Homo-oligomer: A and B are copies of this chain.
């Protein structure tokens, strides 16, 4: 594969080249990994287009697909003013949708395919939807998604939506990839907050309470106001202007509140750019991923000989009680440093 040629085609907004490149970054083959790293680095050198990267987390049933479909259609439809993107267009924004789904091997959603779930958006020429790969290792998923985001940015997309079902650690992965991390919630049954973990709340730049329509409208409004209160109780972060993080009620189905939500996202982004927080966040994220990859690289020694065999051998002695875990670990590490 000619990586140089592929890079040029991506910059020229060739959709097929983009799709091929994402397939490349998804591959686990060592030579593909080499090429993917080279490609992303080439593109970093040649383009400086920045999309707004929007991370979107929501458990199954909150209407994530419907939201992305409606929100994406609005953005691509040319009806929205662009206050703050490098590329501005009267003809609508170019929107890419990526999914981080560590459970994709199990869930029905991804097997049916994300395109089926977003029927209108998938036929929209300014949109690009990439179904989640059936990979389960979260480390691999994180790198693949970061690289796919970089490819979409190089291909000139204005908005990159990175979607995840809120399970396990995937929210952290998505938050560490996004400029804006958004939590999509459904109206709560009673007047209690849903079981959103505090850590997740603290990562959110905005909370959108979906389904503010029909019978659920009142519940959505109440839930929204509950979360507004909860967000106000959190410690003020330097990267937030007054009034953020905020909770907003929307209806993806009735297409209500979406324009207002997008306005909020834009004004938050504009404020952060102006005050240097936008670049600071991206720089911190890059360092985070650098650090994570070096850590993974160090731990990868466990899956290779000679350490793999040593671990099995000494691990059996540890299990049998012939040696304490600490002493065994000390011996293994000493052997490693001698080698």
A contacts, CB < 8 Å to B: 37, 40-41, 44, 143, 146-147, 150, 192, 195, 282-284, 286-287, 289-295, 297-299, 301-302, 311, 314-315, 318-321, 323-330, 332-333
Measured in the bound complex, the distance between the Cα atoms of B325 and A314 in whole Å is 35
Contact B294–A311 (Cβ < 8 Å): yes
Question: Given that A150-B324, A195-B195, A299-B298 are contacting pairs, would A318 and B287 also be in contact in the complex, using a CB cutoff of 8 Å?
Answer: yes
Question: Given that A298-B299, A299-B295, A302-B298 are contacting pairs, would A315 and B329 also be in contact in the complex, using a CB cutoff of 8 Å?
Answer: no
A265 CB → nearest B CB, Å: 23
Which chain B residues lie closer than 8 Å to A44 at the CB level?
321, 323-324
Which chain B residues lie closer than 8 Å to A287 at the CB level?
315, 318-319, 325
Question: Given that A294-B333, A299-B299, A311-B291 are contacting pairs, would A326 and B143 also be in contact in the complex, using a CB cutoff of 8 Å?
Answer: yes
A311 CB → nearest B CB, Å: 7
Contact B329–A293 (Cβ < 8 Å): yes
Enumerate 26 A-B pairs (CB-CB under 8 Å) in ascending A order.
A37-B324, A37-B327, A40-B324, A40-B326, A41-B324, A41-B327, A44-B321, A44-B324, A146-B325, A192-B192, A283-B319, A283-B321, A286-B321, A287-B315, A287-B319, A289-B326, A290-B314, A290-B325, A290-B329, A291-B311, A293-B326, A294-B333, A297-B333, A298-B299, A298-B301, A298-B302
One of B143, B286, B321, B330 near A318 (C-beta < 8 A): B286
A136 CB → nearest B CB, Å: 18
> 3 closest A-B pairs (Cβ-Cβ)?
A293-B329, A289-B325, A283-B319
Measured in the bound complex, the distance between the Cα atoms of B289 and A314 in whole Å is 13
Which chain B residues lie closer than 8 Å to A328 at the CB level?
290, 293
**In the assembly, how many copies of this chain are there?**
2
Contact B294–A37 (Cβ < 8 Å): no
Measured in the bound complex, the distance between the Cα atoms of B329 and A147 in whole Å is 14
Which chain B residues lie closer than 8 Å to A319 at the CB level?
283-284, 286-287
A316 CB → nearest B CB, Å: 9
Which chain B residues lie closer than 8 Å to A293 at the CB level?
325-326, 328-330
Which chain B residues lie closer than 8 Å to A332 at the CB level?
294, 297
A107 CB → nearest B CB, Å: 18
Which chain B residues lie closer than 8 Å to A298 at the CB level?
298-299, 301-302, 333
Question: Given that A286-B318, A290-B328 are contacting pairs, would A41 and B295 also be in contact in the complex, using a CB cutoff of 8 Å?
Answer: no
